[in-house]
């Protein structure tokens, strides 16, 4: 995450949890505190604290402590740096500019960062002592970084990492992505019920201007942020989801009713998550990656 944890971050993590539960696989979870420092007006102290808070949210989802290790870039740099150097030697500045849009105003840390994001993909191979295949489930916004990773992998003697991309969780304002930079369109994992009610209450729905018109013409779930949150996170039953969309289109349910229902679902989720988040403080340290000897 580039900031404090919000529901948009949690969505791919829930999928990662399903992957681990289903396939009993080991998982490395990378906390890019260096990225936050390089791309935002924050101190290293700020970004370290943010990484810890992000880790609590990750652990709270119930990952297996025996099969999950958390990598914090600045803490695990001794392990990451040799791998990042090998990647860096294969990536030209012209490639970095073309992929990420860097220019003369970009600090050189940003340019080097993508090599550090690539490094964990090769850690299993180093631990196993042979090329080891890995899968990286992540948000689709990370695609540019891992295209570069895949391009250089075989030249370094590794298998190309496989990717599973998660769609971006939309913002409550109807935008394509929930973002920490827009406080009015974001729900954080530490929000109170009152804050959630306020945020959902002003969510974009695309509904009609009056109750009468909504009853007559119906709504449009295809553009409704409230419906999308049910679709992505809070309604697991496809039949119920389809019924909700049909009722919306027929004008049988109003935007206000949907907002009340979603607010309740989010608050139930957050109440449970926040309790587990407190419990995570007791085990997060045992899930810290300790590195290995080169």
Q: For 243-284, what is each residue's pLDDT tens digit?
A: 999 999 999 999 999 999 999 999 999 999 999 999 999 999
pLDDT of residue 83: 97
Q: What does pLDDT average to over the chain?
A: 94
Q: For 200-259, what is each residue's pLDDT tens digit?
A: 999 999 888 899 999 999 999 999 999 999 999 999 999 999 999 999 999 999 999 999
pLDDT of residue 174: 82
Structural domains of the chain in order of their starting residue, each with its CATH number: 7-171 (3.40.50.620), 183-276 (1.10.240.10)
Residue 64 DSSP one-character state: -
pLDDT at 35 over 90: yes
pLDDT at 294 over 70: no
Percentages (nearest 5) of helix, strand, coil residues in the chain = 60, 10, 35
**Per-residue pLDDT band at 176 (split at 50, 70, 90):** confident
pLDDT of residue 183: 75
Half-sphere exposure (Cβ direction) of 288: Cα atoms closer than 13 Å: 14
In angstroms, the CA 294 to CA 272 distance is 41
Q: Are 34 and 252 in contact (CB under 8 A)?
A: no
The CA-atom distances, in angstroms, between 151 and each of 96, 148, 163, 185 are 12, 5, 13, 36
pLDDT of residue 293: 58
pLDDT of residue 3: 75
In angstroms, the CA 222 to CA 165 distance is 21
Predicted model pTM: 0.90
Sign of CA dihedral 255, 257, 262, 267: positive
Tokens of 137: 């489930």
3-class secondary-structure state, position 56:
helix
The three-state (H, E, C) secondary structure of 207-238, written as one string? CCCCHHHHHHHCCCCCCCHHHHHHHHHHCCCH
pLDDT of residue 184: 76
pLDDT of residue 4: 87
pLDDT of residue 182: 74
Q: For 86-107, what is each residue's pLDDT tens digit?
A: 999 999 999 999 999 999 999 9
Pairing of strands 68-72, 27-31: parallel
The per-residue DSSP string of 71-84 comes to EETTTSHHHHHHHH
Work out the percent of the chain whose per-residue pLDDT is above 90: 89
The CA-atom distances, in angstroms, between 152 and each of 94, 116, 161, 273 are 15, 13, 11, 39
């Amino acid at each position: 995450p580039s900031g404090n944890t919000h529901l948009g971050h949690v969505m791919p993590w829930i999928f990662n949890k399903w992957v681990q539960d289903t396939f009993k696989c080991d998982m490395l979870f990378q906390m890019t505190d260096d990225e936050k420092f390089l791309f935002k007006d924050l101190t290293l102290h700020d970004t370290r604290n943010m990484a810890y808070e992000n880790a609590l949210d990750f652990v709270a989802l119930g990952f297996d402590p025996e099969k999950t290790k958390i990598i914090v870039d600045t803490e695990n740099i001794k392990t990451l740096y040799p791998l990042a150097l090998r990647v860096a030697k294969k990536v030209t500045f012209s490639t970095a500019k073309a992929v990420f849009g860097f220019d003369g105003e970009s600090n050189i840390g940003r340019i080097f960062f993508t090599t550090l994001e690539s490094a964990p993909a090769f850690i299993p191979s180093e631990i196993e002592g042979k090329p080891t295949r890995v899968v990286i489930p992540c948000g689709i916004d990370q695609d540019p970084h891992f295209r570069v990773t895949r391009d250089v992998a075989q030249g370094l003697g590794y298998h190309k990492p496989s990717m599973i991309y998660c769609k971006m969780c939309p913002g409550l304002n109807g935008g394509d992505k929930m973002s920490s930079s827009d406080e009015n369109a974001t729900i954080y994992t530490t929000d109170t019920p009152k804050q959630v009610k306020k945020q959902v209450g002003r969510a974009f729905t695309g509904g009609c201007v009056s109750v009468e018109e909504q009853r007559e013409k119906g709504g449009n779930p295809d553009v409704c942020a409230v419906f999308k949150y049910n679709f992505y996170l809070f309604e697991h039953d496809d039949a119920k989801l389809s019924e909700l969309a049909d009722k919306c289109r027929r004008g049988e349910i109003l935007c206000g009713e949907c907002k009340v229902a979603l607010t309740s679902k989010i608050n139930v989720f957050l109440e449970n998550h926040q309790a587990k988040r407190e419990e995570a403080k007791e085990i997060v340290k045992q899930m810290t990656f300790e590195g290995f000897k080169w």
